């Protein structure tokens, strides 16, 4: 004979089944939402059709991406200049990718994306793997989330002797303009755009809110001199960028930029 507890369980299950049987059909339906995140890595052959990646490159790239993710979390309060676009351009076929950089062939890399604290390391890793690179095409570059890293990267581009190019339809904005200026030679299509505005610190203070003799200004003026501007042009360009508030963008043309630096 069944125990009282077992009998109660049997009656309870039967009662639940009866209730479900009598309930409207829509009341019996459950909704399951499944979110799937996928990462697609397209293996692209080189000129000879062989795979362009090996396990060592993939392992190195995974480590760099991990570093970048940590850097982005840490950079939320960093001094920054950043002007995102609605849709970031794609980099096309690439032999390898290092953060915002994509190696197209033995002499050309493309850039699309922002600068974080990880970006100078990614740039160095790219040069180590592809020492014959000569040209950096800047496709869609919104600027920096870490301004210190951006200045380091600009000087690294200069030391590497890369030509910087903004192709037709290309856009460099905010801190990325310094990266283009850093080219040993500079090129820009007639429709290339250059977006400038003031930098802002972690508390939201902009350049013009700092005293004129504050050392922070000397950092930028010194960089512009390193990149080929004389003192008057360095000061004029710096004043131009800071005349536009951080939350706005002033767009300059190729001819506007030619007032400050030589173009090829």
Find the mean pLDDT for residues 166-194: 97
Find the mean pLDDT for residues 109-123: 96
| Low-confidence winner among 78-87, 119-128, 241-250 (lowest mean pLDDT) | 78-87
pTM score > 0.85 for this model?
no
Q: For the chain, state the CA radius of gyration.
A: 27
Band (pLDDT 50/70/90 cuts) for residue 93 is confident
Domain ranges of the chain: 44-257
* Token pair recorded at residue 210: 């700092």
| Low-confidence winner among 90-104, 110-124, 129-143, 197-211 (lowest mean pLDDT) | 90-104
Band (pLDDT 50/70/90 cuts) for residue 112 is very high
Mean pLDDT of the chain: 76
Q: Which residues contact 104 (CB under 8 A, 6 or more apart)?
A: 92, 93, 94, 95, 110, 137
Q: Which residues contact 82 (CB under 8 A, 6 or more apart)?
A: 114, 142, 143, 144, 145, 174, 175
Band (pLDDT 50/70/90 cuts) for residue 5 is very low
What topology does CATH give the domain 44-257? Answer: 2-enoyl-CoA Hydratase; Chain A, domain 1 (3.90.226)
Find the mean pLDDT for residues 149-156: 96
Band (pLDDT 50/70/90 cuts) for residue 128 is very high
Band (pLDDT 50/70/90 cuts) for residue 92 is low
Rounded Cα distance, 81 and 137, in Å: 20
pLDDT at 118 over 90: yes
DSSP three-state, residue 81: strand
| Low-confidence winner among 6-10, 118-122, 184-188, 199-203 (lowest mean pLDDT) | 6-10
């Amino acid at each position: 004979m069944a125990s009282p507890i077992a009998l109660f369980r049997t009656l309870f299950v039967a009662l639940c089944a009866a209730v479900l049987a009598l309930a409207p059909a829509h009341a019996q339906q459950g909704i399951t939402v499944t979110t799937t995140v996928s990462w697609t890595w397209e293996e692209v052959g080189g000129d000879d059709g062989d795979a362009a990646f090996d396990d060592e490159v993939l392992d190195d790239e995974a480590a760099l991406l991990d570093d970048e993710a940590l850097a982005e979390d840490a950079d939320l309060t960093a001094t920054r200049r950043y002007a995102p676009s609605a849709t970031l351009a794609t980099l096309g076929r690439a032999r390898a990718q290092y953060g915002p950089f994509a190696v197209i062939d033995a002499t050309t890399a493309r850039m699309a994306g922002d600068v974080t604290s990880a970006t100078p390391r990614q740039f160095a890793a790219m040069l180590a793997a592809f020492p014959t690179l000569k040209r950096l095409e800047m496709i869609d570059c919104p600027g920096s989330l870490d301004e210190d890293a951006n200045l380091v990267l600009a000087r690294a581009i200069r030391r590497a002797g890369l030509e910087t190019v903004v192709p037709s339809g290309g856009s460099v904005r905010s801190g990325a303009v310094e990266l283009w200026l850093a080219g040993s030679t500079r090129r820009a299509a007639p429709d290339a755009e250059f977006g400038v505005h003031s930098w802002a610190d972690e508390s939201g203070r902009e350049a013009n809110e700092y005293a004129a003799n504050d050392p922070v200004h000397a950092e930028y003026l010194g960089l512009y001199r390193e990149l080929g501007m004389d003192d008057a042009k360095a000061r004029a360009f710096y004043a131009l960028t800071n005349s536009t508030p951080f939350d706005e963008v002033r767009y300059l043309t190729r001819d506007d930029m030619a007032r400050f630096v030589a173009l090829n």
